[in-house]
Amino acid sequence: MGESGKEQEMSFWDHLDALRGTIFRSLLAVCLLAVLGFVFKRALFAAVLAPASEDFFLYRLLGWRFDLELINVEMSAQFFVHLQAAFSAALILACPYIIWELWRFIAPALYKGERRAVGTAFLMATGLFYAGAAVGYLLVLPACVQFFLNYSVSELITNSITISSYMSMFTSTVLMVGVAFEFPTVIWLLSRLGVLTRDQLYKGRRYAVVAVAFIAAIVTPADPLSMVIVAAPLYLLYEIAILLCSKSPEKPEADASAA
């Protein structure tokens, strides 16, 4: 267990109560941000609908042309899309606070060396999540929109995209690419805790390529371009994680005071 005698004396119910507080504060932060997102509807949907516009920078850069007109076919769909957009934005914005709450919960149970490693991993996780979300929003989502909008099995079929369908793709793409970018953080943390060594990571490159390709295929089941957009930075981050790892990492040991 951790260094503090007080921490060692905490019962199961004390830990459960602390976890409940962590979850409550995290959910409260998400709900408050969701309310703000719901109130500022115009700004929220200006960002959400930007990749559906032909004027989006990636379409102009690559010369992609398409005509997308989002439609609504259900009475309550726009209201629930509004809620979904508000909570999705809130979850993305609240990510640093949620990670900080998780850190507060687990830090007392860690040794000093473990706290340094896990604390650094949490900082990496925050930065990589936002980097992944940005890649998902700026590159992957537009590529998916362009691919699916122009995909057709017959000239007799006309694509009519609903706002609910677009919002589902928006949410899943941005969040899943953000989560996928946590892969290097997991690799680095396992190395720092002594579970993996740098030599093992070098030898596991072929498996890393397969894992990265699999993750990219799950996150972007669209076209090869989208897969490359996700897979390339993921593998690059894997190589960076190897460079950051010490050659023979040792598992952090307990402080003498923990005895």
The per-residue pLDDT for 259 is 42
Residue 129 CB contacts under 8 Å (≥ 6 apart), including other chains: 95, 178, 179, 181, 182
Q: Identify whether the C-beta of residue 51 lies closer than 8 Å to the C-beta of residue 170.
A: yes
Confidence of residue 123 (pLDDT cuts 50, 70, 90): confident
Mean model confidence pLDDT for the chain? 83
Output phi, psi for 76, to 5 deg. Answer: -100, 5
Q: At what angle do helices 112-135 and 95-106 cross, to 10 degrees?
A: 160
CA–CA dist 133, 222 (Å, integer)? 17
Query: Looking at 86-100, 128-142, 240-254, which range is the least confident one?
Result: 240-254
Greater confidence (61 vs 33) lies with 33
- Residue of 119, 98, 97 whose CA lies nearest to 110: 119
Q: How far apart are CA 15 and CA 117, in angstroms?
A: 22
Domain ranges of the chain: 5-258
| Side-chain-side CA neighbours of residue 36 (13 Å) | 10
Taking only the tens place, the pLDDT of each residue in 208-255 is 888 888 888 887 766 677 788 888 888 888 887 777 775 444 555 544
Structure tokens at 85: 């957009």
pLDDT(194) > 90:
no
8 Å CB contact between 142 and 58: yes
